[in-house]
Structure 1
Amino acid sequence: MADHKYLTSPPKITTMPPGVPYIVGNEAAERFSYYGMNSILTIFMTKYLLDKMGHLSVMQPANAEAWYHTFVSALYFLPIFGAILADAVFGKFRVVFWLSIVYCGGHLTLALMGSPVAHAIEPRYLLAVGLLMIALGAGGIKPCVSTNVGDQFGASNKHLLTRVFNWFYFSINAGSAFSTLLIPWLLEPYQAAPDGFIAKMSPSIVGFLESPRLHSPDIAFGLPGVFMALATFIFWLGRKKFVHIPPVGLRTYGREIFNKETGKILLNILIPVPFIAIFWALWQQNFSSWILQAESMDRHLFGIEWLSSQIQTVNPIFILIMLPLFSYWLYPAVEKVVRLTPLRKIGAGLFVTAASFFLVAMIQTRIDAGERPGIIWQIWAFVILTAGETLVSPTHLEFSYTQGPIKLKSLVMCTYLFAVSLGNVFTAAVNFFIQNPDGT
């Protein structure tokens, strides 16, 4: 459909833009798909990966962590290409729509690892191709989606922007929380604790929950793909409701990037990146080494033996609690004593994050001594880690967004994402060089 049939500037209205529900719905479904896949990736590689003959061919933990962090580093590096294509060449809608289709293809490729196709193609090749497609799709759309929210608003209704960003952030964490509870259960066999309340249900319900047909890699990787297809469809449905800001062209875009003033701004934004990278190098391990640690812990809680990959659900739940708590109570209280600059918040967040890893190290010491600590200890570590995230991530995101020129918002957001990529490069490199007990 020709671009001239779309709105190219926000309408002069005082109400909510008509495209917003489609953006929020798209984000909730996309985040469900990503975090659902993300939550089971490390466990799949260390427990369920097969060769094409159908025999177990699992990775050593350090190797699986290296694969995982390499994938995440690529995903957070690729947004720079999505930003350039969106702002300079194709516009945000085309980039998000077409890369979402690539994203769906990545989920489909991962789901094929549990199908007869895996007998013809080595599952590790399918894993690598699937992750590459997801990195390209999810990474390419990242800088476009949040800035697309701002594109929908004009001067007459910009007072509603904060409310929409709250909905947007809520949709991210709601999708994440729901998927990290459900998808691990679809991968691993379900077992109710013998004395738990679920075990006391009717045998037919327990039998349904434990049915092998519900628990397999093709279903566990396939359902996130269904949600990504739904996200793409929701986004396409909103095409006539969205404001489509036209791309500025490569020549104009290049002039914007390579002038002296923009160079100073970008340099200023890049100053905190090494420190933020340290935070993300630590934080992302809750999807890899923390999951593997939970495998060696007593995970019985509330009458249920939780799966190790479900424990991370604590993070999005506490994010939803801590964000308003910090914004409306903690920050105003601290401001009465000392001025809270972005760098002070980030510095405090790094110390808090380090405290969570101190607790995780203590847990690991007990595991190495032959004990099985209760999972509640790792949950406390997640609560502390989430407090660190609340201090660091929104602060750096806001700092990056407010510093950049209007025409380069998508590109400027990439500096925030680049810090995540850099942190994962470091963690992946460390894990690639870890030697296994057998010397490999």
Structure 2
Amino acid sequence: MNNYKSHPEPSNMLPAGIPYIVGNEAAERFSYYGMRAILMIYMTQYLVNSSGQLAVMSENEAQGYFHLFVSAVYFMPLFGALLADGLFGKYRTILLLSLIYCLGHFTLALDNTRMGLLLGQSLIAIGSGGIKPCVSAQIGDQFGLNNQHLMTKVYSWFYIAINVGAFAAMLIIPWLLKHSGPAIAFAVPGLLMLLATVLLWLGRHHYTHKPPAGMKFIKEMCSQIGLKRLAKLASIYGFFTVFWALFDQTGSSWIIQAQKMDRMLWGIELLPSQIQAANPLLIMLLVPLFSYLIYPLLNRCFVLTAISKMQLGLFLTVIAFAIPSIIQMQLDEGFIPSILWQLLAYVLLTSAEVMVSITCLEFSYTQAPATMKSFVMAFYFLSVALGNLFTSAVNFLIHNIDGSSKLAGADYYWFFTGLMLITAALFLWVSQRYHETDND
């Protein structure tokens, strides 16, 4: 019988399990974003058939499959949440799915065919997606009434840990792919995921292990109150579908665009996949800037709530995506813009991410009933899945048989920019009628 504590200690200090959770997240995010960073280049330049001959995908095909994979990753949190809240608890669920996650990475490293890609990504989707709501909710479980005031800052630093891992991975793994090939490039993220699993296990006696609710979870989820709470959150989360439809294109259409731009920066030519590293780097800079400067300044002008942060973030996304739209107009006319213009778009898009995504992590936990923390986190991640599914569908639908596109060039980017503007305006109207729930 394991002597795990089931309630937070009455302390006003940082919970002892937090460093293990944050370290686990940094290593896990390295593994995920390192693998994801090279997918577009891998599928269009390195994929082989069973005979070992090149059998790569077209750009449109690869972009469609990229977003299908991301969509699968973010659908799986529902599965992980059911396991965590209904059966095994968060720690055991994370540990089990982390092992499956490791297998996915090593499958990609050992098999560079489409079959290997399918199997590896399926295992990674189960592992990575399944643990997502559990890790986020596990942070909240570590806090009691005496140290609950530290939760906001811990969620911010948790998000920074995500981006430390992502930043390192997005610089290193594309370089490994180019210089050492896909086997090494996929094996290294696998080793980091193995490290993440070990860190999780080492901290097991420091965590607060809230037991799974079992049938109580199912009953509460299906109760009138539970369904009403989910419906209420759905009225907010639905708008984030479009945000993620745009945001995750930094891993697909923005890479394709970067291939055609002048990528010389301080005398170094960056690889197209490495440009993505701007996002995690900016997160590490912008999170403290927003927490300690921008939010306090805005709060002097008006009452800054979670809802108002997300409102501002969605409108900022419109401006951010207008920049690659303009860049593409320049490319269509034969000009070769500097990658600095895309980096400017990253600054604005990452600022929007801080206001939307970080805010929503904490918002989701505070709005969730006590027995449905992981499930509500998964419910939020469903918006990411649907956003990527939408982008994937758009890419497949606009692709003509002759290889041309129904939304060619800048029209593609302006389509998403306009869609985001409409979404932000609608969210502004709907969110004004949302009243936050007090779970205390």
Shift of 1:262: 1.9
What corresponds to 2:279 in structure 1? 315
SS of 2:145 mapped into structure 1: coil
What corresponds to 2:5 in structure 1? 7
Verify the 8 A CA contact 2:137 2:365 in the aligned structure 1: no
What corresponds to 1:267 in structure 2? 231
Q: What's the RMSD between the two structures over aligned residues?
A: 1.8
What corresponds to 1:247 in structure 2? 212
- The superposition leaves residues 230-263 of structure 1 with CA deviations (integer Å, 9 ceiling, x where unpaired) of 10111112222222211121x2112211222222
The 2-side partners of 1:341 and 1:161 are apart by: 16
* Aligned counterparts, 1:14-29, within 5 A: 14-29=12-27
The 2-side partners of 1:237 and 1:431 are apart by: 44
- The superposition leaves residues 255-298 of structure 1 with CA deviations (integer Å, 9 ceiling, x where unpaired) of 21122222222111110222111110000000011011111111
- The superposition leaves residues 184-218 of structure 1 with CA deviations (integer Å, 9 ceiling, x where unpaired) of 100114xxxxxxxxxxxxxxxxxxxxxxxxx2100
What corresponds to 1:117 in structure 2? none
Return the TM-score normalized by structure 1.
0.87
After alignment, is 222-231 or 334-343 more displaced?
334-343
What corresponds to 1:300 in structure 2? 264
What corresponds to 1:222 in structure 2? 187
- The superposition leaves residues 346-387 of structure 1 with CA deviations (integer Å, 9 ceiling, x where unpaired) of 333222212222210111122222332211111111111112
* Aligned counterparts, 1:86-235, within 5 A: 86-114=84-112, 123-189=113-179, 215-235=180-200
The 2-side partners of 1:326 and 1:13 are apart by: 28
Name which one, 1 or 2, has greater alpha-carbon Rg: 1
SS of 1:271 mapped into structure 2: helix
The amino acid across from 1:280 in the alignment is: W
- The superposition leaves residues 120-143 of structure 1 with CA deviations (integer Å, 9 ceiling, x where unpaired) of xxx101101111110100011011
> Which blocks of at least 5 consecutive residues in structure 2 are unaligned?
405-440
Q: How many residues align?
A: 404
User: Taking structure 1 as reference, are residues 439 and 379 closer, same or farther at Cα in structure 2, changes over 3 Å only?
Assistant: closer
* Aligned counterparts, 1:378-393, within 5 A: 378-393=342-357
SS of 1:298 mapped into structure 2: coil
Shift of 1:12: 3.7
Shift of 1:95: 0.6
Q: Percent identity?
A: 50
The 1-side partners of 2:59 and 2:53 are apart by: 18
Shift of 1:341: 4.3
SS of 2:398 mapped into structure 1: coil
The 1-side partners of 2:149 and 2:322 are apart by: 43
User: Taking structure 1 as reference, are residues 381 and 126 closer, same or farther at Cα in structure 2, changes over 3 Å only?
Assistant: same
The amino acid across from 1:230 in the alignment is: L
SS of 2:31 mapped into structure 1: helix
- From 324, 336, 356, give the equivalent of 2:288: 324
What corresponds to 1:35 in structure 2? 33
Verify the 8 A CA contact 1:113 1:217 in the aligned structure 2: no
- From 290, 308, 313, give the equivalent of 1:349: 313
- From 44, 47, 62, give the equivalent of 2:45: 47
> Which blocks of at least 5 consecutive residues in structure 1 are unaligned?
115-122, 190-214
- The superposition leaves residues 399-434 of structure 1 with CA deviations (integer Å, 9 ceiling, x where unpaired) of 322211111111111222111111011001111223
User: Taking structure 1 as reference, are residues 317 and 359 closer, same or farther at Cα in structure 2, changes over 3 Å only?
Assistant: same
